Amino acid sequence: MAKNTNNRIAVKWVRDKAKAAYVKQGCCYICSSTSDLELHHLHSITNLLYSWADSLGYDISTDEGILAVRDEFISEHYSELYELVYTLCNRHHVMLHSVYGKIPSVSSVPKQKQWIETQRAKVTGGVVTGRSGLFTQFT
User: For binding to Zn ion (CB under 5 A), which residues are involved?
Assistant: 28, 30-31, 33, 40, 89, 92
Q: Please, what is the minimum distance in Å from the beta carbon of residue 15 to Zn ion?
A: 12
Q: Please, what is the minimum distance in Å from the beta carbon of residue 123 to Zn ion?
A: 8
Q: Which is nearer to Zn ion, 50 or 69 (CB)?
A: 50
Angle between helix 2-18 and 45-56 (nearest 10):
110
> Are the CB atoms for 44 and 37 separated by under 8 Å?
no
Neighbours of 11 (CB within 10 A): 20
Q: Which is nearer to Zn ion, 69 or 77 (CB)?
A: 77
Q: Please, what is the minimum distance in Å from the beta carbon of residue 59 to Zn ion?
A: 27
Q: Which of 85, 16, 76, 3 is nearest to 44 (CA)?
A: 85
Q: Which is nearer to Zn ion, 30 or 69 (CB)?
A: 30
